[in-house]
């Protein structure tokens, strides 16, 4: 083994930019076992690419966090490379990880990974003469295993289930800000809710209902699904969905409204208050994965309010028809179907 740190390669360091980085010697990986709840040993991977499962929650639901760090040759100190404030970065990534239910990386383990990465790529730390040069490190922590459901891996396996469930109003966390990106199906709109949804599920509430963050009075959506309310009384047959710019436009909700309209129901897409939930005989949490899960109740601990609904009712017929529409045995709009053809030959 040669001297450490090695001499920087013969490069024109003034021409090195983020657009033309030299090939590095690899990255450091370590993996967390959810079964043993322990971290494995860090190891060097001599490849700039990472192998990640396609359904990883880090890719799909934003269950990830990162840091940015710099390594420098130290002026006036022979053969010395310094990291700048790595302990602060270790503390910050632990704080970020907790927000999306990622396992905590102990400071010592974090620093060892940083040390290994810098040591393996020490030759790419620009020389002292390069006043503005540095080796940039990007520690990344993310959920990498297979996970389809909108819950943290291995916490809740069934996706709500098929029977009626209880929902909880979340008052101490805002899923989306007014004039924000709540209407986007973005990864970052999901993982931050997981610490709260996990706690709620442990208390018997597998579904969380979000109110608007501006007034905390209007119904917006469930954390994993769209909101659909059924009103059937005195000859009225109505379907209600919230009109909001802060919720993901639900394809399932849109389809259910079309089914309702086709069957003579009156359809409402408008703002309505949480205090008015008692008008509904049924409430569904709707989405592609769950289709339509009936709600048994919605509770709001902050105010003591609780609304109960029937697990069965006239809305069930609309859900059955929606399932028929998906299978093509009952058609609303022919353009909803796209035939897959084999064009390989």
Q: Has residue 8 been placed in a domain? A: no
Length of the chain: 345
Q: What is the pLDDT of residues 1-38, one digit of tens each?
A: 566 666 666 666 666 666 666 678 999 999 999 889 99
Q: Has residue 239 been placed in a domain? A: yes
DSSP strands (E only) in 256-336: 266-269, 282-287, 291-300, 305-308
Give every CB contact of residue 163 below 8 A, 6+ residues apart in sequence.
Answer: 294, 311
pLDDT band at residue 289 under the 50/70/90 scheme: confident
Say what the pLDDT of residue 154 is: 43
Q: Has residue 15 been placed in a domain? A: no
Q: Has residue 345 been placed in a domain? A: no
Q: What is the pLDDT of residues 160-179, one digit of tens each?
A: 445 899 999 999 999 888 88
DSSP strands (E only) in the chain: 27-29, 32-33, 38-39, 43-45, 64-66, 69-73, 81-83, 135-137, 140-142, 165-169, 207-211, 219-222, 226-233, 236-241, 266-269, 282-287, 291-300, 305-308
Q: Has residue 82 been placed in a domain? A: yes
The CATH number that applies at residue 274 is: 3.20.10.10
Does 262 score more than 80 pLDDT?
yes
Q: Please tell me whether residues 56 and 185 are part of one structural domain.
A: no
Question: CA–CA separation, 319 vs 256, rounded Å?
Answer: 7
Q: What is the pLDDT of residues 322-343, one digit of tens each?
A: 999 998 889 999 999 887 675 6
Mean pLDDT of 219-239: 94
Q: Six-digit token pair at 98?
A: 């907790």
| Claim: this prediction has a pTM higher than 0.85 | no
- Beta carbons of 69 and 137 less than 8 angstroms apart: yes
Q: Six-digit token pair at 234?
A: 């005195």
Q: Tell me the percentage of the chain whose pLDDT exceeds 90.
A: 59
Q: What is the pLDDT of residues 54-69, one digit of tens each?
A: 999 999 989 999 999 8
Omega of the bond prior to 283 within 30 degrees of 0, cis? no
Say what the pLDDT of residue 150 is: 57
- Beta carbons of 131 and 256 less than 8 angstroms apart: no
Mean pLDDT of 268-273: 97
Nearest-CA neighbor of 207 among 159, 167, 235? Answer: 167
The CATH number that applies at residue 42 is: 3.30.470.10
pLDDT band at residue 187 under the 50/70/90 scheme: confident
Q: Please tell me whether residues 79 and 141 are part of one structural domain.
A: yes
Say what the pLDDT of residue 157 is: 31
Our count of domains for the chain comes to 2
Mean pLDDT of 266-291: 94
Say what the pLDDT of residue 122 is: 87
Say what the pLDDT of residue 185 is: 85
Q: Has residue 10 been placed in a domain? A: no
Q: Please tell me whether residues 133 and 268 are part of one structural domain.
A: no
**Higher-scoring residue by pLDDT: 344, 171:** 171
pLDDT band at residue 153 under the 50/70/90 scheme: very low
Calculated CA dihedral for residues 290, 296, 300, 304, nearest 10 degrees: 180
Mean pLDDT of 108-134: 83
Domain span including residue 242 = 165-312
Angle in degrees, CA 179, 181, 184, rounded to 5: 135
Question: CA–CA separation, 341 vs 345, rounded Å?
Answer: 11
Q: Please tell me whether residues 145 and 68 are part of one structural domain.
A: yes
Question: CA–CA separation, 155 vs 61, rounded Å?
Answer: 15
Looking at every residue in the chain, the average pLDDT score rounds to 87
């Amino acid at each position: 083994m040669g001297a450490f740190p090695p001499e920087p390669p013969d490069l024109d360091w003034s021409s090195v930019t983020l657009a033309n980085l030299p090939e590095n010697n690899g990255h450091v990986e370590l993996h967390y076992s959810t079964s043993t709840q322990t971290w494995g040993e860090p190891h060097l991977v001599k490849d700039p690419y990472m192998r990640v499962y396609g359904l990883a929650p880090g890719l799909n639901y934003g269950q990830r966090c990162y840091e940015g760090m710099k390594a420098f040759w130290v002026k006036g100190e022979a053969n010395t490379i310094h990291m700048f404030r790595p302990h602060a970065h270790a503390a910050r990534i632990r704080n970020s990880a907790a927000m999306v239910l990622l396992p905590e990386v102990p400071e010592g383990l974090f620093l060892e990974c940083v040390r290994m990465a810098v040591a393996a790529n020490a030759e790419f730390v620009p020389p002292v003469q390069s006043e503005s040069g540095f080796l940039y490190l990007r520690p990344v922590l993310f959920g990498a295993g297979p996970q389809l459901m909108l819950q943290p891996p291995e916490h809740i396996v069934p996706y709500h289930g098929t029977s009626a469930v209880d929902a909880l109003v979340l008052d101490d966390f805002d899923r989306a800000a007014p004039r924000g990106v709540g209407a986007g199906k973005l990864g970052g709109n999901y993982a931050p809710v997981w610490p709260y949804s996990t706690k709620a599920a442990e208390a018997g509430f597998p579904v969380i209902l979000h109110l608007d963050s501006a007034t905390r009075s209007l119904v917006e959506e469930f954390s994993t699904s769209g909101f659909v309310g059924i009103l059937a009384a005195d000859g009225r047959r109505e379907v209600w969905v919230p009109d909001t710019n802060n919720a993901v436009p639900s394809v399932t909700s849109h389809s259910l409204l079309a089914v309702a309209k086709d069957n003579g129901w009156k359809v409402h897409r408008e703002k309505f208050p949480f205090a008015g939930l008692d008008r509904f005989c049924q409430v569904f949490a709707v989405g592609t994965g769950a289709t339509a899960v009936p709600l048994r109740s919605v509770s709001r601990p902050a105010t003591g309010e609780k609304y109960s609904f029937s697990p069965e009712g006239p809305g069930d017929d609309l859900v059955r028809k929606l399932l028929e529409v998906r299978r093509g045995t009952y058609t609303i709009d022919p353009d909803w179907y796209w035939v897959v053809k084999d064009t390989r030959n």
